[in-house]
A and B are shown apart, each in its own frame.
Chain A
Amino acid sequence: MSKSVLMKGNEVLAEAAIRAGCTHYFGYPITPQNEIPAYMSKEMPKRGGCFLQAESEIAAINMVFGASGAGARVMTSSSSPGLSLKQEGISYLAGAELPCVVVNMMRGGPGLGGIAGSQADYFQATRGGGNGDYRTIVLAPGNVQEIADLTVQAFDLADKYRMVVMILGDGYLGQMSEPVILPEPDVKPVPKPWAVSGAKGREPNKVMSLRLTPDDYLEKHNIHLQELYKKVEGEVTQSEAYMTDDADYLIVSYGTSSRIARKAVKMLRNEGVKVGLFRPVTLWPFPMKELHDLSKKVKKVLTVEMSAGQMLEDVNIAVNGVTEVDFLGKLGGALPEANEIVKIVKSYG
């Protein structure tokens, strides 16, 4: 059993990616995720991989497109404004069904915004900022250990479903140091007979997203994609329920804000308030059924996130009116405070 080490979230992500068999990394610097390219630039050459600093996020995601189309396990990372630029490439990756891992260590927006952590890219991540009817799997780690674990999972899921998998963290999580047990290097290579590698002794492969003829080619492809997404919805939903068994109230929160919500739950429990935390780990697919079932048992649901109410929409869909949904949102990189959450929940009683 490997022992635990103290490491920064961003560096853990990079190390876990390499251990998961990521051989190619392309990225463009942006705070607060710069430790990822720095780590990759140091480690990749030593470990037989490729690190390349691209000329822009657009170039980086299109290098990812090329490397993924060529069959590699590949990753890019950025933060919010950079993710905006990557949307074109993500749509093309989805159209061509190419697997890859895209990391967003979110910061506040809109525009250049700030460099403090934020959760204001939930819509962009789960609804997609690129064109077309596509989905990406979105994983939201809540601590540094989970960054390691979900990074490994991200590569496996990407290859399994031939999808873009996004790791949605934020500046606080990426910059935070915590003890972590790093995953054992355990690469599960997936055969990729569709990749371009030179058509030696076989028919040429075509990796593309253009589907013009026959007339229903694009329609059929979209139907296929939707079937794939349905399957993913059934197979990869993840969430955590904390102290929810006897709860009267339920806080729903993910990532950095869920850490504060968890603290608030502990404080409230000490005062005898029966409250629990529901933490979605996959933001797409969102754990609709799990949250719906829990919400039926509580008097009120409080959504806590660092945005003006983005995950709130999914919470409302999941709860579907069976109980009341309240909201605490922090804007522009501000963090919720445990005391604040405690006060709000106490006001329900």
Chain B
Amino acid sequence: MSEELIYTRPESLRERKTHYCPGCGHGIVHKLLAEVMDELGIREETIIIAPVGCSVLIYDYINADGIEAAHGRAPAVATGVKRVHPDKIVISYQGDGDLLAIGTGETIHAANRGENISVIFVNNAIYGMTGGQMAPTTMSDQITKTTPYGRNVQDVGYPIRACEMLNTLAAPVYIERTSIHDVKNIRKTKKAIKKALQNQMDGKGYSFVEVLSTCPTNWGVAPVKAAKWVETAMVPYYPLGVFREEKETV
């Protein structure tokens, strides 16, 4: 009997024991990114910017050149790298605290300049790495380490919708929000990441993919329930879909 290889670890993903918690969305997004890098044949062309957050060690998983930014500064670091290597693929991978709190300025201005980079934004509605404090994307009434009575929007404001905010800018060519709460949406997420990278390869400009993700550990729920919470609590507030897509010019 001959064996047929139907699935293997992407070359762009290192063989390595994960440090992510069971049910964590980061691992899924890493794998999707690695698969896309293989499919596009860009592993040796890619420079990944590691953020400060649970994915700070992304360069230990993605088998490509990596550079680690200070908290929130990934888009600025990506800008510096890209301006030196305009022909390389530069990916800024960031969490919600990184991208929408401490790094809001860098986020908006890199998008506004239309830097030809791809931003992958993993929104898990919490600060994962520091043990579960309120994020700018923490849901109304959500309990976290720093909102023990639930997020009071009268006091600390409403969760920020990144795609909608960036969609007010002229320069971005692609803005989409996806989710990883089930297989269908995981597939859509992969497609979105691929499009974001393809755009960059084609020199089109700034692409932004927000991925609604899970942090079972800091949400205090089991992985399956976490996925369900994304679907029932997050998706209604953070609508999925394409916000911006550059029209194909013939």
Interface string of B11-49 (1 = CB under 8 A from A): 000000000000000000000000000000001111101
- Across chains A and B, the number of contacting residue pairs, with CB separation under 8 Å, is 132
B168 to nearest A CB, angstroms? 16
B-side contacts of A206, CB under 8 Å: 59, 65-68
B59 touches A62 (CB 8 A): no
Q: Which residues in chain B, 77-112, are within 8 Å of chain A measured between CB atoms?
A: 77-85, 88-89, 105-106, 108-109
Is A64's CB within 8 Å of the partner chain B? yes
Give chain A residues whose Cβ lies under 8 Å from the Cβ of B46: 198
B80's contact among A55, A58, A68, A199, by CB below 8 Å, is which? A68
Residues of chain A in range 117-171 having any CB-CB distance to chain B below 8 Å: none
Pairwise interchain contact A204-B64, C-beta atoms closer than 8 A: yes
Look across to chain A and name the residue whose beta carbon is closest to the beta carbon of B106. Answer: A59
Question: In the complex, what distance in Å separates the CA atom of A125 from the CA atom of B195?
Answer: 45
Write out the residue numbers on chain A whose beta carbons fall within 8 Å of the beta carbon of B224. Answer: none
Q: What's the least CB distance linking B208 to chain A, in Å?
A: 17
**Nearest CB on A from B232, distance (A):** 36
Any A CB within 8 A of the CB of B70: yes
Whether, in the assembled complex, B207 has its beta carbon less than 8 Å from a beta carbon of chain A, the answer is: no
Contact (Cβ within 8 A) A196 B66: yes
Interface residue A65 (Cβ < 8 Å from any Cβ of B): yes
Interface size counted on chain B using CB atoms at 8 A: 35
CA distance A123 to B194 in the complex (A): 49
Known: A56-B105, A198-B47. A204 touches B66 (CB 8 A): yes
A306: chain B residues at CB < 8 Å are: none
> Contact at B78–A66, with CB atoms within 8 Å?
yes
Q: Are B79 and A66 in contact (CB under 8 A)?
A: yes
CA distance A293 to B128 in the complex (A): 57
Bound Cα distance from A196 to B47, whole angstroms:
7
> Is A67 an interface position by the 8 A CB rule?
yes
The answer to whether A50 touches B44, judged by C-beta atoms less than 8 angstroms apart, is: no
Whether, in the assembled complex, A109 has its beta carbon less than 8 Å from a beta carbon of chain B, the answer is no
A229–chain B nearest beta-carbon distance, Å:
22
**CB of A54 within 8 Å of the partner chain:** yes
Tell me the complex Cα distance, A313–B56, Å: 40
User: Number of A interface residues, CB 8 Å?
Assistant: 40
CB nearest to A56 among chain B residues: B105
A24 interface neighbour in B45, B59, B69, B84, Cβ under 8 Å: B84
Query: Is the Cβ of B85 less than 8 Å from the Cβ of A59?
Result: no
B85 adjacent to A65 (CB under 8 Å): no
Taking the nearest CB of chain A, how far is it from the CB of B203, in angstroms? 16
Given A197-B65, A207-B66, residue A24 in contact with residue B44 (CB < 8 A): no
Bound complex: CA of A248 vs CA of B67, how far in Å? 55
Compute how far the CA of A209 lies from the CA of B50 in the bound complex, rounded to whole angstroms: 11
Question: When chains A and B are docked, how far (Å) is the Cα of A204 from the Cα of B66?
Answer: 7
DSSP class of B's interface residues: helix, strand, loop or mixed? helix
In the bound complex, residues from chain A placing their C-beta under 8 Å from that of B49 are 66
Q: Do A59 and B84 contact each other (CB < 8 Å), given the known contacts A89-B70, A200-B45, A207-B66?
A: no
Query: Which of A62, A197, A201 has the largest number of chain B CB atoms within 10 A?
Result: A62
B190 at the A/B interface (Cβ < 8 Å)? Answer: no
- The reply to whether the CB of B134 lies closer than 8 angstroms to some CB of chain A is no
- Complex contact A67–B67 (CB within 8 A): no
Give CA–CA (A206, B50) in the complex, Å: 10
Q: Are B105 and A69 in contact (CB under 8 A)?
A: no
Query: Looking at the complex, which one of B57, B65, B73, B108 makes contact with A58 (CB distance below 8 Å)?
Result: B73
Taking a contact as CB atoms closer than 8 A, the residue among B56, B65, B77, B82 that contacts A199 in the complex is B65
Confirm or deny: A74 has a beta carbon within 8 angstroms of a beta carbon on chain B: yes
Q: A62-B70, A198-B47 are in contact. Are A67 and B106 (CB under 8 A)?
A: no
Residues 39-55 of chain A: 1 if any B CB is under 8 Å from the residue's CB, otherwise 0?
A: 00000000000101011
Find out whether the CB atom of A65 lies under 8 angstroms from the CB atom of B69.
yes
Docked pose: A59 CA to B69 CA in angstroms = 11
Chain A residues near B189 (CB-CB < 8 A): none
Residues in B whose Cβ lies below 8 Å from that of A50: 83-84
Contact of A66 among B50, B76, B109 (CB under 8 A): B76
Give the Cβ gap from B34 to chain A, nearest Cβ, in Å: 13
A72 part of interface (Cβ distance < 8 Å): yes
CA distance A88 to B76 in the complex (A): 13
Task: Indicate if A278 sits at the interface (CB-CB under 8 A).
Answer: no
Binding site for A on B (CB under 8 A): 43-47, 49-50, 56-57, 59, 63-70, 73, 76-85, 88-89, 105-106, 108-109
Can you identify 26 A-B contacts, CB atoms within 8 angstroms?
A: A23-B84, A24-B83, A59-B76, A62-B69, A62-B73, A65-B69, A65-B77, A66-B76, A66-B82, A68-B80, A69-B67, A70-B84, A71-B84, A89-B70, A196-B65, A197-B85, A198-B89, A204-B59, A204-B63, A204-B65, A204-B66, A206-B59, A207-B66, A207-B67, A210-B56, A210-B68
